[in-house]
Amino acid sequence: MNRALRRISIAVLVMFVLLLVNVNYIQGFDTASLASQPGNSRAFYAAQNQYQRGSIVTSDGVTIAASKPSGGNDVIKYTRYYPKGVAYAPVTGYDTIYSETGIEKAQNSLLSGNDSALTVRKLIDLVTGKTTKGATVQVTINSKAQAAAYDALKALGKPGAAVALNPKTGAILAMASYPSFDPNVLAIHDGAKLNQVDKQLLADKAQPLLNRALEGTYPPGSTFKIVTSAGLLTQSPNTSVNTNVDSPTTLTLPQTQHVLHNDQGEVCGNGTGQAPLITAFAQSCDTTFAKIGMQLGAPVLSDMAQKFGMNNANLTVPLPVAKSNYVIPPSQALTAFSAIGQFSDTVTPLQLAMFSAAIANGGTLMKPYLVQQVTASDLSTVQTTSPSTLSQPVSPSVADSVGQMMHAVVQQPEGTAYAFRQDVTGVDIAGKTGTAETGQVSLNDAAFTGFAPFANPDIAVGVIIQGGGYGASAAAPIAVQVIKAYEQAVGHQ
Amino acid sequence: MSSLTAPSPAVDPTGPMAQVSRSRRRTELIMLAFAFALVAFAFANVGYSLKGTLPAGILEYMAAYIAIVLAAHLVMRRFAPWADPLLLPLAALLNGLSIVMMYRLGAQGHPPPISASTVDTQILYTAIGIGCFVAVLIVIREPRVLQRYTYTLGAIGILLVALPALLPASISQVYGAKIQIRFGSFTIQPEEFAKLALAASFAGYLVVKRDVLALAGRRVLGIDLPRARDLGPILLAWAASLLLLIFESDIGTSAVFMGLFVAMLYIATSRTSWLLIGFSMFVIGALAASKLVGHVGERFDIWLHPFTGQNPSNNAYQLVQGLYGMASGGLLGRGLGGGQPYITPLVQSDLIFTAFGEELGLAGLMALLLIYGLIVQRGLQTAISVKDPFSKLLAGGLSFMLALQVFVIVGGVTRLIPLTGITTPFLSEGGSSLVGSWILIALLARVSDSARRPPPRPIQEEGLTQVVTLK
């Protein structure tokens, strides 16, 4: 029997060797492939919770996201919290135990402390015995402008978004979306409860998780006349803001029976059928710009729209920005519509702000950005964003002309936004209203883009309100409040 | 010239003291001290990792654990002084690590996979297990005694196996397999005891019948097939393990039973044909069952395609999470209390090995496998060195069964073979498995005691020894 026992022993040895080889394979060779499996939450946890996550602060030093020790028996050592949750949700995004959005996602490796840029500092922490923390991300947001934007949107109570830029640098000063959500409700560590909250938010018809400022696209309406004017002034250098242009009361579109009216059948200029460009712009005559659009042709409009930042699917701030579209229309009649911001034109509120920013900055469009600076836990700077040019849509002189026209919109009695002239608001604002027709006046999307102060602009704004009605009545007041709050904050008022 | 010298080299002239040292009980005590130190260290490690302090109640837990194991050691000194000195320390180490892991799993998670009081229950089961260990050593003084109860043990074993299948599912079903008996909140898995009874019964049967079974029948393809009339017992075992598979949906235990019986047949007869017949019959049975029982077919799909389609989030979730845990452990592990074993479903029982893999890493798993390997090696060594054929078969069978059980569950959770729900000896939560494992160790210790016991000292008077010189 001993011979059989020895053979059994060999079989047992083989079994144990197989087990040993197999665990060596799994834990020695297969770890990377298993860690990269999509459902592997352990790998995610490991990366997320190694260090205390860094804070997110505004440019004026307000903390909008931070981590504190969880306490108790919690398996996750730190809990994320958002002191001004709802207003800043489009900026911070959220950080759950499963995933992130917003800055939390875009700057995740720095915030979590796993970025290779932090390796040397972590080594120093290890040697000096300090606890390593994630890096602090300072965003370009101005807390006063952000609060004004969100409060105004919330007071109006309609879905919409407001974005403010520094036209000289591209820094995003405010980025608010309404309705929003409180990221604190997603910072919980109970997976089942989190799934439930997440499901509720996703099912909410008001779409609170949607960051309309960057991800929502809406018809720009008459604000697109900035692009059409820029095209005209660039194409025909002899045209000035005072040049008379065709401004009929009605315009029958070619190869159609469709007659284009101005809003509520309004007469453009003095009724002669001719009006100075600046007047047509201030009054926002659809017939004038439809005609100009047809003269210029869709390729010119498309080219100009693209230079202003549209048709770009790859813009990141570093949060990804939805593509604003100018689609070349198949007919002249539709080209006429596209020139006044209808047909298939769509813009994000950020894109709307970029129209004004380019004009305010002498025709040079700066690349919008949200992250000012990243500092390690030892307060040394890890990275700083330096402003960069995105494009040069128009020459300084054309920018100057368009700027004058936008000034007239707000400061001249015939302008659509005369209600917000300097006498009333105390700020010298230039801008353009937009009302994208959706068939019913009360359901029209309201848009406003503008910049201030006119003489030396330091803020450019884009506001879109879904179903807001007229741009001048729904969107412009919000833009004005953001501008006033910012001017007050920087001491210009 | 020649001489007749009397003092045999086997007789130690230094007397009883030397015998104590050869019995190696002191070695066992030193080894136990190592096991205690390792368990205490692991326990402290868990506390510091989870809460930054020593675990509440560590002194009581450690005192209880050490007292229970030391009691076993003292009983061995008295009742099995010649037993192998490594069996108790190795088993005690595994048992201690299981207590630590129960504490760890009960202290973390949303909610923790097991309640915080499971560690108390596990210590209670340890006490019961070692109580049975002690009882076996005291009651069974000679392994051969069991041979008398060959058929009684066989009947008990079969009854224990069949019981859950006969009982209504409400009492016996757990996770799709009918393998337990429930009394209120208390459950017993009778198979854990059935396999011990059946191993002893097989040993008794085979010792008597082995010569008959070894007779050659026809020769086919160079293999001597046994005579058809001798196929009876193996057919019976085959049918029993298939019934187990079909009525209790328990492929793992069925494989362990079949493997045990085939291995013991082979040890008894040294005939390769029995091995081949047994193995091929099991494969045929398993394939047939996989067609008949959905539960079994699903296991194969999980094994072959764990990451395909919906499998990672549905059927293969448990296996895949276990693998993720092991991967997250890597070479050295995340440290006790540092991983997230609580994510894996049933981590406290079937998947306990992956929890150790996650927190102690490859190093820890290799150590655990070597501990199991060492226990099996001591058992097989005992089987080889013991003279009595019944003891030989019993020790060989039990050792092989332990090895097979480790292979089936560890191979299952590491995706070497399809995962089947059987317990990991000594490590898994649950009383039946722990108590059964301790009885197994007690039986091995009993056999090893009789294997290593020196022959009775020849009765002789040294004074009468004379040197006679022949011319």
List, for residues A453-485, the tens digit of each pLDDT value: 999 999 999 999 988 777 778 899 999 999 999
CA distance A384 to A372: 6
For residue A314, being part of any structural domain is answered with: yes
For residue A73, being part of any structural domain is answered with: no
Q: Do B153 and B200 meet the contact criterion of CB atoms below 8 Å apart?
A: yes
For residue A298, being part of any structural domain is answered with: yes
**Residue A38 backbone zone (phi > 0: left; psi -120 to 50: alpha; other: beta):** alpha
**φ and ψ at residue A374, rounded to 5 degrees:** -120, 125
CA distance A75 to B306: 27
A98-112, A170-184, A442-456, B237-251: least confidently modelled range: B237-251
Select the residue of B50, B266, B416 nearest A18 (Cβ to Cβ): B416
For residue A285, being part of any structural domain is answered with: yes
Residue numbers of A between 184 and 213 with CB closer than 8 Å to B: 189-192
For residue A481, being part of any structural domain is answered with: yes
Going by C-beta distance under 8 Å and a sequence separation of 6 or more, which residues neighbour residue B199? B260, B264, B394, B397, B398, B401
pLDDT at position B13: 45
CA distance B337 to B354: 14
Residue numbers of B between 364 and 393 with CB closer than 8 Å to A: 365-366, 369, 372-373, 376-377, 380, 383-384, 389, 392-393
Each residue of B75-87: b (16+ CB within 10 Å) or e? bbbebbbbbbbbb
pLDDT at position A48: 67
pLDDT at position B15: 45
Most confident of A126-140, A344-358, B160-174, B325-339: A344-358
pLDDT at position B77: 94
**What token pair was written down for B459?**
């009765």
Is the pTM for the entire model greater than 0.80?
no
pLDDT at position A189: 82
For residue A176, being part of any structural domain is answered with: no
What string of H, E and C letters represents the secondary structure of A298-334?
HHHHHHHHHHCCCCCCCCECCCECCCCECCCCCCHHH
For residue A446, being part of any structural domain is answered with: yes
Dihedral sign computed on CA atoms, order A295, A301, A302, A304:
positive
Better pLDDT: A251 or A478: A478
Domain count, chain A: 1
* B270 contacts on A by Cβ (under 8 Å): 1, 3-4
Select the residue of B383, B396, B414 nearest A26 (Cβ to Cβ): B414
Select the residue of A8, A73, A75 nearest B263 (Cβ to Cβ): A8
**Residue B245 backbone zone (phi > 0: left; psi -120 to 50: alpha; other: beta):** alpha
pLDDT at position B12: 46
CATH number assigned to the domain comprising residue A318: 3.40.710.10
pLDDT at position B9: 46
pLDDT at position B463: 60
* A73 contacts on B by Cβ (under 8 Å): 50, 107-108
pLDDT at position B6: 44
- CA-based nearest distance A4→chain B, Å: 5
What tens digit of pLDDT does each residue of B43-86 get? 999 998 888 888 888 999 999 999 999 999 999 999 999 999 99
Distances (CA, A) of B13 to B8, B82, B378: 10, 19, 29
CB contact under 8 A, B414 and A190: no
Range of the domain at A439: 221-369+386-490
> Which of the residues in chain B have pLDDT under 50?
1-21
Select the residue of B267, B307, B407 nearest A5 (Cβ to Cβ): B267
Q: Which amino acid is at B168?
A: P
pLDDT at position B450: 92
For residue A257, being part of any structural domain is answered with: yes
pLDDT at position A73: 64
Chain A residue with the nearest C-alpha to that of B274:
A4
What tens digit of pLDDT does each residue of A375-420 get? 988 888 889 999 999 999 999 999 999 999 999 999 999 888 898 9
Q: Give the active site residues of A.
A: 222
**What token pair was written down for B188?**
């017993």
Q: Do B251 and B286 meet the contact criterion of CB atoms below 8 Å apart?
A: yes
Give one DSSP letter per residue of B103-168, joined into a string.
Answer: HHHHTSSSS-SS-TTHHHHHHHHHHHHHHHHHHHHHH-SSGGGGGGGHHHHHHHHHHHHHHHHHS-
CA distance A355 to A391: 12
Residue reference for tokens 């996979």: B113
pLDDT at position B177: 65
Strand, helix or coil for residue B100: helix
Strand, helix or coil for residue A478: helix
Better pLDDT: B205 or A253: B205
pLDDT for A264 beyond 90: no
* B369 contacts on A by Cβ (under 8 Å): 16, 19-20, 23
Each residue of B339-373: b (16+ CB within 10 Å) or e? bbbbbbbbbbbbbbbbbbbbbbbbebbbbbbebbb
Dihedral sign computed on CA atoms, order B79, B84, B86, B91:
negative
CA distance A417 to A432: 8
CA distance A306 to B52: 59
Length of chain B equals 471
Q: Do B249 and B255 meet the contact criterion of CB atoms below 8 Å apart?
A: no
In degrees, rounded to 5, the angle at the alpha carbon of residue B253 between the alpha carbons of residues B247 and B259 is 120
